[in-house]
């Protein structure tokens, strides 16, 4: 299951991604927002991040104006590796090398077509493991105060 969330700035991207997931029969849960009215992003980012940590969702996609606020908020949850991506290459690499579990996108940075393209890449790309696992483990060590 994929956890989705957006504030007003990312609402249209989230809706485009939701339509893509539905077309592909990929299960998702929409944590809001449900319209373009102004709303704070941190609670939505927290809900999506906690759904991943609690095992309810495999991965998440968060959208706001730039993707930056959502990524900062989501990364406060231990075990989350949320990345802002603005192109296909970064989206692929964040999965292959960083094992990112949340993709963050900006509605004022990319368009709906790109959002769907990046979501597809994010969901279809596996983590390479190997030497990259050691680096991901080091990120976890930072969270635990060990590095």
Other residues' Cβ atoms within 10 Å of the Cβ of residue 27: 10
Tokens of 26: 């990929």
Q: Are strands 102-106 and 82-84 parallel, antiparallel or unpaired?
A: parallel
Q: Does the annotation count 85 as an active-site position?
A: no
Catalytic residue among 63, 64, 85, 104: 64
Tokens of 23: 């077309």
Q: Does the annotation count 90 as an active-site position?
A: no
DSSP-based three-state secondary structure for 9: coil
Backbone torsions φ then ψ of 45, nearest 5 degrees? -60, -40
Residue 45: C-alpha distances to residues 17, 41, 54, 62, 84 (Å): 16, 6, 14, 7, 13
Catalytic residue among 8, 85, 90, 97: 97
Q: Which residues are catalytic?
A: 64, 97
């Amino acid at each position: 299951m994929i956890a989705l969330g957006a504030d007003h700035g990312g609402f249209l991207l989230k809706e485009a991604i939701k339509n893509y997931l539905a077309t592909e029969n990929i299960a998702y849960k929409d944590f809001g927002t449900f319209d373009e009215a102004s709303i704070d992003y941190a609670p939505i980012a927290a809900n999506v991040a906690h759904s991943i940590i609690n095992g309810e969702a495999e991965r998440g996609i968060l959208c706001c104006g730039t993707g930056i606020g959502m990524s900062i908020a989501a990364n406060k949850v231990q075990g989350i590796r949320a990345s802002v991506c603005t192109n296909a290459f970064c989206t692929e690499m964040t999965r292959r090398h960083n094992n990112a579990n949340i993709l963050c996108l900006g509605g004022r940075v990319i368009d709906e077509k790109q959002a769907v393209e990046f979501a597809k890449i994010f969901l279809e790309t596996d983590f390479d493991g190997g030497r990259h696992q050691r680096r991901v483990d080091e990120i976890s060590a930072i969270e635990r105060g060990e590095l």
